[in-house]
Amino acid sequence: MEHGTAALAQELIAAWSLIAVAFLALGILVYIAIRSRTRRVDLEKAVEAFRSLDVEAFRNLVDSAEEAFLRNNLSPKKFREIKRRRAWAALIYAWEAGRAAKALAKVGQAAQRSSDPKVAASGVQLSENAFRLRLQTVGACLHLLTEILLPDLRSRSLPPLVDQYERAAETLFRLGRFSSSRLLKN
Amino acid sequence: MYHGANSFAKENYRETTHAGCGCTGPVPDKRGTSKLGRRQSPAPWDYHLHPPGLHDLAVACGAAQLKRSNARAIVLSMLPMNWHKALSLFLWITPHALLGVLGVILCRRRLYREFPVFFAYVLYEIAQFILLFALYSVLGVTSKPYAYVFSATLMISIALRFGVIDEVSKDLFRESQFLKVAARRSLMCVTGLLLVMGVLLAVYAPGDNSARWYAGIFVVNRGAAMVQCGLLLSLLLFARFLGLSWRRPAFGITLGLGVLTSVDLATYALRAAFASEVAADFSDLLATGAYLVCVSIWIGYLLAPELKSASLAVVPQDEVETWNTELQHLLRN
């Protein structure tokens, strides 16, 4: 009898969970459908995203020497607190880099549809690289999230990651500066 | 789509309505007298949705009965039944008629070249409807042949829908060599994960513990709806995350199928949770209504002209090339 009741309760929970999941999926679909109506490539927004990246600040946040100094001079509790804050700030930078890459991908795809074959070819390459960059930022964000959750953990793969993101931030910053000067001229 | 799946799985299951994406006929009815001596009832529409027209109803009720009771009350009580039947018929026939229109649009706009699997799926759905409708008309839903054809066509329909999802994903990643590999690999991982979830769901919440083959079909169909819904949602979210631009037909197909599979998932769950006739009626109408919405979305998106992409006047050629060079430099390092 009890076993039957438990089985029934289990089925009911599963059923209601599925209903919730299904309606959540439906809500997301409707949201995406509504948002897809406004498909515009905003170049200025992309430039703004690039310009928002402060390379020096990002470099400082992910600097391993800086982290070692903090580890040696702060109490473990204080270090964890500071490390979390730094990782959180770096995460925001990485996220912004990802958004910039997304904007760049859109510009690249718009260029792909150009009637000029040269522009179209450049657009293909531009969007390809932007997609790569976007996916790389995901990896970085996950890494930084791990640091936030486990501040004492010393990640071996962090140095190449830091290098990569320093380069990414620098490039994006240069791109933004270049683009904004072009826009001002125009 | 297989609608009324849970009812199908029940011992004394009831009539269900007729539309959907996978298998679009009424669920086979086993309420008639069987060799096992189970209680049987007439064909679905004779059960609580009488044959068409009040005239037939009056005949069925009999003149003597009409004399004994208040005629007006009887007629009023029959009206909702006819309304339900009319709605059921409407929701079964209309989407398939619209699928015919969709087929014509696909031909006229030569989209069958770009979406051959989807075109095959549309034709298959129409053929399936004709077959099931003919079988229903001749044999009724209580016949065994109807049940077998229903199940077989449902399985083919599920397989075709996976083909359609594969087709739209290829279309989405068509312009990027990198994404063709990376994104499709990610999608395969998502598929694997969803399959595991589907199997776990089948094991821990079967919805019907009987060992009948139609109960198995219900579980397979519910699992397929979950996997397909998850895949379509992943595609849409992935495209949004990467800033990928959809072509209108592919987006429409994905959106329509997504709406359909998500509502199907909800209706299967509703059926599992509530075995009452009212709940079954409600979920039937919900599912068949979703199919109509789905076909309307497909037609709307396939008829609509492609959105004009952003003007490249704001992206000078040398600027694009410089950005490209800078990014290549970044990725090489």
Report the gap between the CA of B77 and the closest CA in chain A (Å): 32
Is the same domain home to A47 and A133? yes
- CA closest to A136 among chain B residues: B331
Question: Residue A129: which of B204, B229, B324 has the nearest Cβ?
Answer: B324
Whose structure tokens read 């459908």?
A: A33
The Cα–Cα gap between B317 and B325 comes to 12
Same domain, A84 and A98: yes
Q: Around Cβ A178, how many Cβ atoms within 10 Å?
A: 16
Nearest CA in chain A to B206: A11
Q: State residue B97's pLDDT score.
A: 93
Neighboring chain B residues of A107 at a CB cutoff of 8 Å: 315, 320, 323
Q: Give the gap in angstroms from C-alpha A132 to the nearest C-alpha of chain B.
A: 8
Q: Are residues A116 and A148 in the same domain?
A: yes
Are A55 and A114 part of one and the same domain? Answer: yes
Same structural domain, A146 and A167: yes
**How many angstroms separate the CA atoms of B55 and B109, rounded?**
46
The domain of A169 spans 42-185
| pLDDT mean by block of 10 residues, chain B; 333 residues | 35 38 46 34 33 36 44 52 78 91 92 93 94 82 76 90 92 84 82 84 63 69 88 90 86 93 86 74 84 93 72 52 57 52
Claim: this prediction has a pTM higher than 0.80: no
Residue matched to tokens 């005629």? B71
Domain tally for chain A?
A: 2
CA-nearest residue to B200 within chain A is A14
pLDDT on residue B100: 94
| Token representation of residue B290 | 């979703």
Low-confidence ranges of chain A (pLDDT < 50): 157, 159, 175-186
Domain boundaries defined on chain B: 5-37+87-332
Q: Which sign does the torsion angle of CA B24, B30, B31, B33 carry?
A: positive
Q: Is the domain of A57 the same as that of A142?
A: yes
Predicted confidence at residue B196, as pLDDT, reads 86
Nearest alpha-carbon partner for B180 in A175, A94, A131, A13: A131
Rounded CA-CA distance B151/A6 in Å is 32
Q: Do A171 and B329 touch (CB under 8 A)?
A: yes
Q: Judge if A134 and A171 occupy the same domain.
A: yes
Scanning the structure block, which residue is given the tokens 């990928």? Answer: B244
Question: Mutate which of B241, B257, B265, B315 to disrupt the A interface (most A C-beta within 10 Å)?
Answer: B315
* Angle in degrees, 0-180, between the axes of helices B213-242 and B144-172, rounded to the nearest 10: 10
- Secondary structure letter of residue B110 according to DSSP: T
Give the residue from chain A lying closest to B317, CA to CA. Answer: A119
Query: How many residues in chain B?
Result: 333
B126 alpha-carbon distance from chain centroid: 13
Contacts of B330 in chain A (CB under 8 A): 129, 133, 167-168, 171
State the DSSP H helix or E strand holding residue B316, giving kind and residue range, or none if neither.
Answer: none
Question: How many other CB atoms sit within 10 Å of the CB of residue B256?
Answer: 27
Is the same domain home to A34 and A66?
no
Same-domain status, A75 and A136:
yes
Closest Cα in chain A, distance from residue B178 (Å): 7
Q: Which pLDDT belongs to residue B200?
A: 80
- Which is nearest to B255 in space by CA: B302, B220, B307? B302
Cβ atoms of B6 and B208 within 8 Å: the answer is yes
Query: Is residue A3 located within the same domain as residue A85?
Result: no
Residue A44 has what pLDDT? Answer: 64
Binary contact (A14, B175; C-beta < 8 A): no
Cβ separation of B233 and A103 shorter than 8 Å?
no
Tally of CA atoms within 13 A in the half-sphere of A148 that contains its CB: 14
Same domain (yes/no): A61, A19: no
Q: How many CA atoms lie within 13 A of B195 on its CB side?
A: 7
Quick check: A14 and B205 CB within 8 A? yes
Give the 3-state secondary structure of residue B167. Answer: helix
pLDDT at A114: 77
- Is B269 in Cβ contact with A15 (below 8 Å)? yes
Residue A65 sits in the same domain as residue A155: yes
**Residue B101 carries which side chain, given as an amino acid letter?**
V
Per-residue model confidence (pLDDT) at position B291:
92
Q: What is the pLDDT of residues A5-31, one digit of tens each?
A: 776 777 777 778 888 888 898 898 888
